[in-house]
Structure 1
Amino acid sequence: MSSFRGIWVALATPFRSGEVDYPALQGLVSGLLEDGVAGFVVCGTTGEAAALSHDEQLAVLDAVLQWVPPQQVIMGLAGNNLRELLAFQQEVQRRPLAGVLVPAPYYIRPSQQGLEVFFQTVADASSVPVVLYDIPYRTGVRIERETLRRIVRHPNIAAIKDCGGDVETTLALIADGHIEVLTGEDLQIFANLCMGGAGAISASAHVRADLYVRMQREMEANDINAARRTFQRLLPWMQAAFAEPNPAAVKGALALQGLMANELREPMQACSEATLERLRRVLADLEACD
């Protein structure tokens, strides 16, 4: 089974004039690989998957797989129509992958039993490891602690992207040892590592990914003070990266660096001029520390 330890980037999807900008995507991926990231989550929330058709999502996945080894690629897999989700899962799994990232079905707010059945069904149908995505503020449903602990005992579920906001649940999952616990809240990366977590699936790691990787390695070397200093250096950027709904500020920062156009698909909006000015200051300060 794949290892999901490390810093994974929740990959943004570049657009230009309304279409996917594949040259920008390739440049983005190449630079992040050079920085040493563990891999990528393609077509997740940061990738604006909800604004992409299934054909577009598969095209983005196929493009990334041309440039990135399969063991470093996780594909987002979300939906509330189980039949359609399973059909798309079959299409996705025709490609070699490290895994699929699956949140609870959004909007319909199933019962705890319904959640167990949903994840068991998806995991049973999966030919690759499943990374469970616990993010109740987007799905509208909370997976209770004991429900979650039962779900992740499934042999095909290998990791969790933890955005549940409950530290006791996080600690229980780490202590149980059934799965690797990756935080999906960037401000919690240092805390996750201190608690014995596996790392992060991070949107803000698009910028200075080398420092995120350094922090992980410092923790692996038990140099907590060095990791804390690295985290504190990144903190102003992490805070600015979520000043507007994700991925607006991340894309704004990448546009300032010349890596993509500052373009999102509606109804998402590009970040404001005030946020862009804040990003200019934060990025300049981040680079000045070198």
Structure 2
Amino acid sequence: MSTTANSAPPPPGIYVPAVVFFYDNEELDVPSTQAHVLRLAKGGVTGILVQGSNGEAQHLSHDERKLTIRLARNILNGNGFEHVLVIAGTGGQSTKETKKLCMDAKEAGASHALVLTPAVWAPQMTKERILKFHRDVADASPIPTMIYNFPTVTAGLNLDSDIIGELGQHPNIVGTKLSCADVGKLHRLTSTLPPSKFATFPGSSAVFLQGLVSGSAGVIGALPNVAPKAHVELYRLYKAGKLKEAEKLQALLGHADWELQKLGSIAGIKAVVSKHFGYGNTNVRGPLTPRDLNAAGAAATAKLEELIALEKSL
């Protein structure tokens, strides 16, 4: 076991599963990817999640996954953002592959690993096998691991608070990202596992404030790819006890997040970012396809446009 006594969760704050950019031939667009990481850091995020679902992890080779972690860590270090964490998505479809991805993540500069449950054989993923998988990975990982619960990309597998709570007892499992957006589940976990040992994050900006009220550690969500400063502002308002102002901003985040989902999330993020922030493009790796914002129509992005105007004013 590689677990150490000081396995600690990532600090509370705003984390963003960053998109990666590609050229027309689907090769990595390194300058745009680095420009994106740098804008997020300048926007005040606490950490960058490399190879979350928005980072098209399953569309990258092992070498590309390791490269993008290193690119993020290097661009942060080179611009005075050494304090900004890099968390790596390390989910694989076997225990062996996932262990290897955790080792690669450590070597490339990640502080924590976010582990998706394998789901090719979803009917065979019993509670016992899920527990064993995550514990085996955590035993072998040279960095602390976190449980990534995202039923949409795991053939409907939805880990309940009992399973996650049991996993949270492991000394090297230090948190979770709940992309199920289940605030009840989140609150059960935050009221069971101490925040000094286990960080519980909602995986959607649509429940950012609701999660904070229920004891979450912040948010790990797609929308900060577009508006990191707005999320930092909501967090500040909440911490200052300005709940009415926070509620108003949360409403905007919720509407904008819904628009982004309807645009196809990953493709939508790239289309919005490349249009408004001066870098990147709309390319995604197949079978995904780019999103044309003009074809979507102005009404499809009205709240996103409002959020971007706020973002640029902060």
Q: TM-score range by the shorter chain?
A: over 0.9
One-letter amino acid of the structure 1 residue matched with residue 268 of structure 2: A
Aligned to 1:115: 130
Contact 1:256–1:280 (CA<8 Å) still a contact in 2?
no
Q: Distance in 2 between matches of 1:79 and 1:26?
A: 25
Q: Does 1:274 align with 2:295?
A: yes
1:211-230 Cα deviation digits (max 9, x unpaired): 10111121122221121122
Aligned to 2:30: 22
Q: Does 1:250 align with 2:269?
A: yes
Contact 1:182–1:201 (CA<8 Å) still a contact in 2?
yes
Aligned to 2:112: 99
Quote the offset at 1:281 in angstroms.
3.8
Aligned to 2:46: 38
1:179-229 Cα deviation digits (max 9, x unpaired): 111110221111101111111111111122101011112112222112112
Q: Distance in 2 between matches of 1:202 and 1:227?
A: 17
Aligned to 1:83: 96
Q: Which sections of structure 1, spanning at least 5 residues, go unmatched? A: none
Quote the offset at 1:118 in angstroms.
0.4
Quote the offset at 1:135 in angstroms.
1.3
Aligned to 1:173: 189
Aligned to 1:262: 282
1:114-151 Cα deviation digits (max 9, x unpaired): 00000100111122121210112321222233222111
Contact 1:70–1:96 (CA<8 Å) still a contact in 2?
no
Quote the offset at 1:278 in angstroms.
4.3
One-letter amino acid of the structure 1 residue matched with residue 60 of structure 2: L
Between 146-155 and 280-289, report the one with greater CA deviation: 280-289
The TM-score with structure 2 as length reference comes to 0.86
**Given the alignment, which residue of 144, 162, 179 partners 2:160?**
144
The TM-score with structure 1 as length reference comes to 0.93
Q: Does 1:10 align with 2:17?
A: yes
Contact 2:15–2:221 (CA<8 Å) still a contact in 1?
yes
Compared with structure 1, are the counterparts of its residues 216 and 137 closer, same or farther at alpha carbon in structure 2 (3 Å cutoff)?
A: same
Between 83-92 and 148-157, report the one with greater CA deviation: 83-92
One-letter amino acid of the structure 2 residue matched with residue 185 of structure 1: S
Displacement over 4 Å in runs of 4+: 287-290
Q: Which sections of structure 2, spanning at least 5 residues, go unmatched? A: 1-7, 77-81
What CA RMSD, in Å, does the superposition of the two structures yield over aligned residues? 1.9
Q: Secondary structure at the match of 1:189?
A: helix
1:85-125 Cα deviation digits (max 9, x unpaired): 22232222223322001011122121000000001001111
1:1-53 Cα deviation digits (max 9, x unpaired): 24331110100001112111111112111111111001110011101111111
Compared with structure 1, are the counterparts of its residues 127 and 20 closer, same or farther at alpha carbon in structure 2 (3 Å cutoff)?
A: same
Q: Distance in 2 between matches of 1:280 and 1:111?
A: 41
Compared with structure 1, are the counterparts of its residues 265 and 91 closer, same or farther at alpha carbon in structure 2 (3 Å cutoff)?
A: same
Contact 1:105–1:139 (CA<8 Å) still a contact in 2?
yes
Q: Secondary structure at the match of 2:262?
A: coil
Q: Secondary structure at the match of 2:290?
A: coil
Aligned to 2:79: none
Q: Distance in 2 between matches of 1:27 and 1:201?
A: 20
**Given the alignment, which residue of 223, 232, 247 partners 1:228?**
247
Q: Distance in 2 between matches of 1:122 and 1:26?
A: 29
Compared with structure 1, are the counterparts of its residues 50 and 164 closer, same or farther at alpha carbon in structure 2 (3 Å cutoff)?
A: same
- Equivalenced residue count is 290
**Given the alignment, which residue of 210, 215, 227 partners 1:196?**
215
Quote the offset at 1:165 in angstroms.
4.5
Q: Does 1:215 align with 2:234?
A: yes
Q: Secondary structure at the match of 1:133?
A: strand
